[in-house]
Chain A
Amino acid sequence: MMNQNKLYPWYFAGGAALLFFLLCFVPGMLGIAFSFTDWNNFSSEIHFVGLSNYKAVFLENSEYLKYISNTLIFTVVTTIMKTVVGMALALLLTQNFIRFKNFHRMVIFSPQVMSYLVAGLVFRSMLHPTTGFLNNFLRSLSLDWLAKNWLTDLHMVFPTVMAVDTWRGMGYIMVVVIAGLLSVSPEYYEAASIDGASFFQKFKSITLPLLKPVLINVTVLNVTYGLRVFDMIYSLTNGGPGNATGVINTAVYKEFSKGNLAMGTTLSSILFLVVLSLLYFIIKSMEHKEVEG
Chain B
Amino acid sequence: MGKAGKVISCILCNAVAVLTSLIVIIPLVVLFLNSFKTAGEANKMTLSLPKEWMFENYGRVIEQGKLLSSFLNGLLYAVFSVVIVVILVSAAAFVISRNPKGINRFLYYFIISGIALPINNVALMKVLQVLHLVNTQLGIILLYAAINIPLSLFLTYGFIGTIPRELDEAAVIDGCKPGQLFIKVIAPLMKPIVSTLFVLDFMAVWNDFTMPLYYLNNSRKWPMTLAVYNFFGAFEYSWNLVAADIILTLAPVLLVFIIGQRYIVGGVSAGSVKG
Contacts and interface: CB of A to CB of B under 8 A. Distances in A.
B172 A2 contact: yes
Nearest to A172: B268
Interface stretch (A61-69, A154-162, A277-285): A277-285
B80 interface: no
- Chain B interface size, as a band, is 35 or more
Interface string A153-193: 00000000000000100011001100110010000000000
A12 B111 contact: no
Nearest to B269: A179
Interface string B183-222: 0000000000000000000010011111001100000000
Contacts, number: 303
Contact of A9 (B95, B126, B169, B229): B95
B260 to A, nearest CB: 10
Nearest to A117: B209
A8 B100 CA distance: 10
Contacts of A95: 13
B154 A286 contact: yes
A49 interface: no
Contacts of A6: 178
B150 interface: yes
Contacts of B113: 279, 283
Contact of B275 (A93, A104, A228, A289): A289
Given A15-B91, A115-B225, A221-B272, A125 B117 contact: no
Given A7-B181, A24-B114, 6 more contacts: A4-B99, A10-B104, A27-B119, A104-B18, A113-B203, A214-B273
Contact of B24 (A7, A28, A107, A175): A107
A44 interface: no
Contacts of B16: 92
Nearest to A14: B92
Nearest to B126: A30
A292 B120 contact: no
Interface in A222-264: 224, 227-228, 230-231, 234-235, 249, 252-253, 255-256, 261, 264
Interface of A: 2, 4-10, 12-17, 19-28, 30-31, 34, 89, 92-93, 95, 97-100, 103-104, 106-118, 121-126, 128, 131-133, 136-137, 140, 167, 171-172, 175-176, 179-180, 183, 214, 217-218, 220-221, 224, 227-228, 230-231, 234-235, 249, 252-253, 255-256, 261, 264-265, 268-269, 271-272, 275-276, 278-279, 282-283, 286, 289-290, 292-293
B117 A13 contact: no
Interface in B73-109: 84, 87-89, 91-92, 94-96, 98-99, 101-104, 107-109
Contact of B272 (A10, A128, A218): A218
B4 interface: no
A167 B25 CA distance: 11
Contacts of B274: 289, 292-293
A207 B224 CA distance: 42
Contacts of B103: 10
Nearest to B42: A131
A172 B104 CA distance: 32
Given A10-B104, A131-B43, A292-B273, A27 B210 contact: no
Interface stretch (B51-59, B60-68, B141-149): B141-149
Contact of A114 (B94, B207, B275): B207
Contact of B94 (A8, A171, A176, A283): A8
Contacts of B118: 227-228, 249, 268, 271-272, 275
B44 A92 contact: no
A262 to B, nearest CB: 9
A221 B96 CA distance: 24
Nearest to B172: A2
